[in-house]
Amino acid sequence: MNGKGLAPIWFGFLFLGVLVGYPLVLLFVQTLFPDALGGRWDRFLEPVARIFRTEGIMEMLINSLLWAAATTVLSWLAGIPAGWLLGRTNLRWKAMARILLLIPIMTPPYIAALSYVLIMQPGGFLTRLTGEEWPWLQAWFFSFWGVTFVMAAMSFGYVALAVEASLRSIPGRLEEAGAVCGASPATVVRTVTLPLLLPALFNSGLLVFLECLSNFGVPAVLGPRANMPLLPAEIYQLVTSWPVDLALATSLSSLLCLLALAVLWLGQRTLPRSLSGGRSSAARMRSLGAAGQAAAWAFLGLLFFLSAGLPYLAMIGSSLVDTWREGAPTWTLDHYRGLFAAGGRGLQALQTSLILAVSAATISMVCGGVIAYGLSRYPGWQASLLDGLAVLPRVMPKIVVVIGLILAWNAPWIGFNLYGTVGILLVAYVALYVSDALRYADTGLRQIPRRLEQAAESLGATGFRVLLDVIWPLLRPALFAAWMTTFIVCVRELVASVILLPPGHETTATFIFNQFEQGELATAMAMATVTIGVTTGILLAVSWWNRQRAV
């Protein structure tokens, strides 16, 4: 392999180095020398030593790992069958099913958790609708399992989408060959489909796992009742309660990073590096009978009901409440009117969020795609290093990454004013979520047979031409999924937005959060409803546009 071929890798180092590496190096230096940026080089390694003096650190670490693992398994259990139904059967109304699966990912996790609290708490919606208390259900919900359930409900869509995208690109003839050779359908799944699916399963599982390791919203809302000390919550508290202990928070985050890197490394060791499946032929769709269709839709319906239907009922219900008299609500539409009143901040926040999310998703898709191409085509230590670099911001609690971004872009040696403009949020979104886009593109690329490129090259096509005319069309579904998920997570992003937003600007998430802070539950829920509605609309439009062009 020559140096020229490594161009995507070098691009990746430049891009991720500035965006991710530079702030993280500053954070790391702070772990070693807490006052380094102030020009003092004493107290070497003091924060690291303090990790061991932090009470309950092992408990938190184990809790965090168990929780992340349980959520990942639950997401697999729900997401794999859903992805299979979409990718390998003639399920009716597939486009709708896909949107139904995406809706829960669009929900800000803390809103979903809050909606579930409104339903499940003693005297909540459940009690009021059924007329009785459900002590066993409540005891179950306000525990480890409830927190796991809510988090899995919010994230199994990642798995479903990845499984579907992957199944679509696994050549059906491989499975047919298995069947022709006399293997039973179960054997075909076990020996052919499943191994080919592994990269998708691993990558999407990794997304869910990492999201759990760094997620603060769901445990923050459910945690105090569920008695679950988790590492991200501890870190969040170190950073936001006085006296602020940034150095200890950073060293605890490094612990999370190490864990994540270990998981990533294990995955890379065990996964097939690339698959050459021959010409992609359309997979044969298993046809479902009437009963099969009904069962499939019952399954998807149940998933949708638990992950979106139920919390949305609570959310929309609360947004329509005027006051709670004696615990019983009176209804109004005023909160929606207030959002769109002339000069209202609601509209401005929506606009800012959408512009930022579309930009961040597009940049992440393009750059993530190029980097993933480099990773899958030129494996080696550079690629591993790059992969690790991309995934780091995803596993650290966001508040720590955000602190790193402030340190980096507000440093005395930065001569231009990026921090202090909305632009810093774009930088933050891309830094935080480019790894998602990269994962999707990577999954897709692993299944594009190398020999297609070789064929094009042997016919005299340049590397750029190969990328445009061979890779891009084949990678389209994966990149499309990458764009959609990045767009969604950016719209709902809260922590980075709250702290990085320059004075005078708002995004939808900070708007919701601020309303909630002021006790305006109904306005907050109204904004959440509008945001999710608009996001769904945009996704529908984009997927329609994508289908039009694909034909």
Partner 1 sequence: MRRFLPVAKLLLVLSSLLWTACEDSTEGGSLTVYSAGPRPLAEQICRDFEKSSGIQVRLFSATSGQIMAKLEAEKYRPRADVVILASQIAGEALAREGRLESLPAELQSEGNPAWNSESMVGTAAAAVGVAVRGEAVDRRADWWEWLRAGVEERMVMPSPSRSGTAGDFLLAWLQHDDGFLWEDFVQARRDGLDFAAANNQAITQLLTGSHHVLFAAVDYLIFNQIARGESLTLLYPEPGAVVVVRPGAIVAGSRNREAALQFLSWYLQPEAQNAVAEAHLLPALAGVEVSAVRKAAGPLLQWPYDPVLALDDQQAALRRFQYEIERTRVEQ
For partner 1, the binding residues (CB under 8 A) are: 37-38, 55-56, 114, 117-118, 121-124, 139, 220-221, 223-225, 227, 229, 237, 239-244, 246, 323-327, 352, 355-356, 358-359, 362-363, 366, 399, 402-403, 406-407, 410-412, 417, 420-423, 426, 468, 472, 498-499, 501-505, 514, 516-519, 521
Structural contact between residues 283 and 175, judged by C-beta atoms closer than 8 angstroms: yes
Q: In the beta sheet, which residues pair with residue 331?
A: 321
Is the CB of 16 or the CB of 249 nearer to partner 1? 249
Residue type, 181: C
CA 110 to CA 183: how far, in whole Å?
47
Is the CB of 193 or the CB of 515 nearer to partner 1? 515
Is the CB of 242 or the CB of 381 nearer to partner 1? 242
Q: What angle do CA 218, 222, 226 make, to 5 degrees?
A: 130
CA 378 to CA 465: how far, in whole Å?
18
Smallest distance from the beta carbon of 91 to partner 1, in angstroms? 30
CA 209 to CA 214: how far, in whole Å?
9
Closest listed residue to residue 201, CA positions, set 114, 352, 83? 83
Is the CB of 136 or the CB of 381 nearer to partner 1? 136
Q: Is 330 exposed, middle or buried (0-12, 13-18, 19+ CB in 10 A)?
A: exposed
Smallest distance from the beta carbon of 67 to partner 1, in angstroms? 15
CA 99 to CA 97: how far, in whole Å?
5
Q: Give the CA distances from residue 452 to residues 1, 35, 276, 279, 471, in Å, rounded to whole numbers and listed in that order.
A: 18, 54, 9, 8, 9
Is the CB of 15 or the CB of 158 nearer to partner 1? 15
Is the CB of 27 or the CB of 159 nearer to partner 1? 27
Smallest distance from the beta carbon of 76 to partner 1, in angstroms? 29
Is the CB of 14 or the CB of 139 nearer to partner 1? 139
Q: Give the CA distances from residue 523 to residues 128, 328, 501, 518, in Å, rounded to whole numbers and listed in that order.
A: 22, 18, 21, 10
Smallest distance from the beta carbon of 480 to partner 1, in angstroms? 12
Contacts of 534 (CB under 8 A, 6+ apart): 350, 354
DSSP tally for the chain: helices H, then strands E: 28, 2
CA 69 to CA 255: how far, in whole Å?
17
Helix (H) or strand (E) holding 316: helix 310-319
Smallest distance from the beta carbon of 116 to partner 1, in angstroms? 13
Smallest distance from the beta carbon of 124 to partner 1, in angstroms? 6
Smallest distance from the beta carbon of 399 to partner 1, in angstroms? 7
Smallest distance from the beta carbon of 189 to partner 1, in angstroms? 36
Is the CB of 356 or the CB of 466 nearer to partner 1? 356
